[in-house]
Amino acid sequence: MTAPGTRAEAAAEDTDDLDVEEALALVRDARRESREDGPDDGTGRAPGPDAPALGERSAERHRATPWPRARETAARAARSRARRTPVSVPLGDALGLVLAAPLDALTDLPSFDTSAMDGWAVAGPGPWQVREEGVLAGHAQPEPLTDGEAVRIATGARIPADTTAVLRSEHGRTDAQGRLHTTREILHGQDIRPRGQECRSGDQLLPVGTLVTPAVLGLAAAAGYDTVTVVPRPRAEVLVLGDELLTEGLPHDGLIRDALGPMLPSWLRALGAEVVAVRRIGDDAKALQRAVTRSEADLIVTTGGTASGPVDHVHPVLERVGAELLVDGVKVRPGHPMLLARTKDHQHLVGLPGNPLAAVSGLLTLAEPLLRTLAAHPAPEPYTLPLREAAQGHPHDTRLIPVVLRGDHAVPLHYNGPAMLRGIAAADALAVVPPGGTRQGEEAELLDLPWATAGIGVCFT
């Protein structure tokens, strides 16, 4: 973090302050660090029994990962990345990022003795002789007061030396001779904010791992910062597959509108990513391979092509580029063909199924924990609400069902089929329905949709 005028040297020091891994460690949710999934050697290269090597895939394809474990695997894959360097960003770009160095005060706050009220600075007991010229905020240091003297002062102005108190304007009156009298008892030091009352220069104001909120931006500015040192925003690239997709107009001749190209970038931003590109690849395996190979994003998100149809190119391309499958199918409906692969040392690919609600399911199951961990955001506290109506379960898999929150209940929505967005577009959250279903009145875990809790403006900055 930098003070004005010292940006370059301070930035150089800052990168030594703390590694992103350490920042991540501070916000790590131990409860989610399940060790039950077998060994994690820290390289993230242990896909576990659920993700067969690509060569063995065909026979094993349907050994899908249980939904909770898939989420843990995605979070752990992000944690096992090589160390990333914290970055120094201007305050205006820091909202929603996480501090990678403590916010230490660069100044005393207040940085001088200041008046807390509009009124008069007075010295000694009244009545006082009032000086002609007053003191305003932002002015140079005023002349000291002598005993029995007062000067008009504004809130935030510097207190003249030897002031004993500030008399509020509503508690003073001047007589015919121009002398100032108080109408209340006035205490020594009253309405003076002494220098350093909030902090001394060097005090730690906020620790590493703090989410930069609007209030944090305000505090950082007050404490003298122009930039803050943060965990970099993960970069995501979206590759939209499918020759059948139109980008405008009405569906016709078997062609349909692309629903994911418009939906995913803003959703990924809501999950803390910077979307560096959205590319339309069609059903062209070579183009997909080129795009994957060239991408420098932290996360590539593909849509469609995850199943085993004639133009489902995601698996073959992953195999060709030597990617390592960490999750190949998840026991969740909709969305079970979703996948997670490590494409390069510092890069992952989440393959979302083409059916739009299945894609949402993949986004929240795999991309959300991965991005959250890369950005060093803490895991949201899990919470449950009773369902107002029973939700039918899948015999073996978890189901994610769009719900609205009404009072202290979650109400399942219709139009929740894999190809439908009508339910999710009206929803506040997704209910997690375990195999076998959830009875009416029974508690279900809920995954909030980002805008339902934070508001559109907050989450899409």
Ligand X SMILES: Nc1nc2c(c(=O)[nH]1)N[C@H]1C(S)=C(S)[C@@H](COP(=O)(O)OP(=O)(O)OC[C@H]3O[C@@H](n4cnc5c(N)ncnc54)[C@H](O)[C@@H]3O)O[C@H]1N2
CA dihedral in degrees (246, 252, 256, 259; nearest 10)? 70
* CA pair distance 191, 148, nearest whole angstrom: 18
Q: Which of 102, 196, 261, 418 is the binder for ligand MOO (CB under 6 A)? A: 418
Q: Which of residues 308-327 bind ligand X (CB under 6 A)?
A: 308-309, 312
Tokens describing residue 347: 């890069």
Question: Residue 411: what residue type?
Answer: V
Residue 355 contacts ligand MOO per CB under 6 A: yes
Which of ligand X, ligand MOO, none interacts with 259 (beta carbon under 5 to 8 A by kind)?
A: ligand X
Q: How many CB atoms lie within 10 A of CB 183?
A: 11
> Which range of residues in 75-83, 253-261, 274-282, 401-409 is near ligand X by CB under 6 A?
253-261
Tokens 């000086």 locate to 131
Question: Quick one: tokens of 301?
Answer: 């998100």
| From the list ligand X, ligand MOO, none, partner contacted by residue 256 (C-beta under 5 to 8 A by kind) | ligand X
Strands, E assignment, 102-222: 103-104, 114-115, 119-122, 128-130, 149-153, 165-168, 172-174, 179-182, 192-193, 204-206
Residues 414-433: x/- map of binding to ligand X (CB under 6 A)?
A: ----x---------------
DSSP annotation of 170: G
- Partner interacting with residue 303 (select from ligand MOO, ligand X, none; CB below 5-8 Å by kind): ligand X
* 86, 172, 305, 353: residue in contact with ligand MOO (rule CB under 6 A): 353
Binding residue for ligand X (CB under 6 A) from 240, 271, 275, 403? 240
Q: Which stretch binds ligand X (CB under 6 A): 203-211, 254-262, 317-325, 432-440?
A: 254-262
Q: Does 329 sit near ligand X (CB under 6 A)?
A: no
| Spatial strand order in the sheet of 347-352 | 274-282, 235-241, 299-303, 347-352, 339-344, 324-328
Instruction: Report if residue 358 touches ligand MOO, rule: CB under 6 A.
Output: yes
Residue 359 Cβ, how far from ligand X at the closest point, in Å? 7
Backbone angles phi, psi at 105, to 5 degrees: -60, 135
Residue ranges binding ligand MOO (CB under 6 A)? 333-337, 353, 355, 358, 418
Residue ranges binding ligand X (CB under 6 A)? 240, 242, 244-245, 256, 258-260, 303-309, 312, 334, 336-337, 353-356, 358, 418
